[in-house]
């Protein structure tokens, strides 16, 4: 008889002055990402990657995390820890998980990757093909990954599993820079992924510099995957600047033949346009910034406002990825003018003019 796959489990008892309040905040946060049930002092959160059950006791929150594999469990522990530490930041509680997923082990959602090919896609976009082992988990469950980019000339040390479920990072200079990118293609059998790097201007920019200089044999780390994609619909709006072009390209390739997609993409100029393949019916407009700097134009939000939406009862879904200011404008248009529900849209800030990396692009709210 085939053995039943076992679930991976861990638990933690976290000392808190107001455990019930923290539990409520965690539940409120996860409503957007899964199913949440609260029953007095107990609650349960079920997400696509695993679940957490919580019990608010006297001065302590008991949490039980569960995942179908090591990575899923690690994601549950990580997301509970990150949000709990944020919601209870004033008392900085200690979290120590017991159970599966040992401290100091490699992160189960980490892979070391090696550059095997590079190619120019357009004058300002370079494709880097990375090879690594056991990439099956990267083919589903989100389009984007975090790239861990070694600093110039320094052999990196990679993060390992921390006692609280978050990655424990190496010290100072061995610590890689982290930037978010999209998996444009995943070939599990060949053990390869493609990443398309926008070669933008700026200071520092470890991501764009790696994209520009990557050479065969170079090593990077990769964690993930994560992030949302589109929900099933009959009619899609896909909008983005060049940083979102890899995601839009991949989404379009996966749409069914009976779907319609209105696609609006802002790029520097005509030389940055790329062929887009899809079985869906497409209405594509390329928007050229020409002399306007990236992040300074309103082309994308203006084009989104002009889109004609279906007037019948087709299911609609809007997806956008772009610079922070356009992200805010597009999101508020979709929510306030188009009255889309949370299930009908996903708008993400992919970068923020004048800010480095990931933190500043996140919404304060």
Ligand X SMILES: Cc1cc2nc3c(=O)[nH]c(=O)nc-3n(C[C@H](O)[C@H](O)[C@H](O)COP(=O)(O)OP(=O)(O)OC[C@H]3O[C@@H](n4cnc5c(N)ncnc54)[C@H](O)[C@@H]3O)c2cc1C
Contacting range for ligand X; rule: CB under 6 A; set: 98-106, 191-199, 253-261, 263-271 = 191-199
Angle subtended by helix axes 299-306 and 324-332, to nearest 10: 20
The residue from 106, 123, 202, 270 that contacts ligand X (CB under 6 A) is 202
Contacting range for ligand X; rule: CB under 6 A; set: 112-120, 175-183, 212-220, 251-259 = 175-183
Regarding 353 and contact with ligand X (CB under 6 A), the answer is yes
Residue with the two structure tokens 């053990």: 191
Regarding 240 and contact with ligand X (CB under 6 A), the answer is no
Regarding 181 and contact with ligand X (CB under 6 A), the answer is yes
Q: Say how far apart CA 94 and CA 329 lie, in whole Å.
A: 39
Binders of ligand X among 87-106, rule CB under 6 A?
none
Regarding 243 and contact with ligand X (CB under 6 A), the answer is yes
**85 or 199, CB closer to ligand X?**
199
Alpha-helical regions (H) of 31-179: 70-87
The residue from 43, 182, 297, 326 that contacts ligand X (CB under 6 A) is 182
Contacting range for ligand X; rule: CB under 6 A; set: 39-47, 156-164, 200-208, 267-275 = 200-208
The contacts found for 68-74 with CB under 8 angstroms, 24 or more apart, are 68/5, 68/7, 68/8, 69/8, 69/108, 70/8, 70/100, 70/101, 70/108, 71/108, 71/109, 71/137, 72/8, 73/8, 73/9, 73/10, 73/100, 73/101, 74/101, 74/107, 74/108, 74/109, 74/161, 74/165
Under 8 Å between Cβ of 14 and 94: yes
Regarding 319 and contact with ligand X (CB under 6 A), the answer is no
Regarding 198 and contact with ligand X (CB under 6 A), the answer is yes
Neighbouring C-beta atoms of residue 281, cutoff 10 Å: 13
Residue 234: CB minimum distance to ligand X, A:
25
**144 or 333, CB closer to ligand X?**
144
* Size of the residue set binding ligand X (CB under 6 A): 30
**Positions that interact with ligand X (CB under 6 A):** 144, 179-182, 196-198, 200, 202-208, 227, 243, 246, 294-295, 348, 350-357
């Amino acid at each position: 008889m085939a053995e039943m796959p076992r679930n991976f489990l861990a638990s933690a008892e976290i000392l808190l002055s107001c455990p019930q309040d923290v539990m409520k905040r965690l539940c409120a946060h996860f409503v957007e990402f899964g199913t949440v049930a609260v029953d007095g002092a107990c609650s349960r959160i079920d997400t696509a990657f695993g679940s957490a059950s919580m019990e608010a006791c006297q001065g302590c929150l008991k949490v039980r995390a569960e995942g179908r594999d090591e990575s899923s469990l690690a994601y549950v522990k990580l997301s509970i820890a990150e949000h709990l530490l944020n919601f209870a930041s004033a008392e900085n509680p200690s979290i120590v998980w017991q159970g599966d997923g040992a401290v100091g082990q490699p992160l189960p959602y980490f892979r070391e990757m090696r550059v095997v090919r590079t190619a120019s896609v357009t004058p300002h976009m370079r494709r880097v093909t990375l090879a690594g082992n056991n990439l099956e988990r990267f083919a589903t469950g989100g389009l984007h990954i975090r790239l861990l980019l070694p600093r110039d000339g320094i052999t990196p040390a990679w993060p390992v599993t921390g006692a609280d479920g978050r990655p424990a990072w190496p010290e100072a200079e061995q610590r890689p820079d982290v930037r978010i990118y999209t998996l444009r293609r995943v070939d599990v059998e060949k053990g390869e992924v493609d990443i398309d790097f926008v070669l933008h201007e700026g200071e520092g920019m470890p991501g764009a510099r790696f994209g520009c200089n990557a050479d065969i044999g170079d090593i990077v780390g990769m964690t993930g995957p994560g992030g949302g994609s589109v929900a099933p619909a009959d009619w899609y709006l896909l909008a983005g600047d060049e940083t979102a072009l890899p995601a839009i390209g991949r989404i379009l390739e996966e749409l069914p033949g009976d779907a319609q997609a209105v696609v609006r993409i802002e790029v520097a100029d005509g030389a940055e346009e790329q062929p887009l393949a899809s079985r869906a019916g497409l209405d594509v407009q390329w928007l050229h910034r020409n002399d306007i700097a990236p992040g300074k134009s309103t082309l994308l939000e203006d084009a989104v406002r002009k889109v004609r939406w279906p007037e019948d009862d087709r299911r609609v879904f809007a997806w956008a990825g772009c610079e922070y200011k356009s992200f805010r404008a597009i999101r508020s248009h979709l929510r306030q003018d188009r009255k889309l529900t949370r299930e009908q849209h996903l708008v993400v800030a992919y970068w923020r003019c004048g800010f480095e990396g990931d933190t500043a692009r996140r919404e304060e709210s």
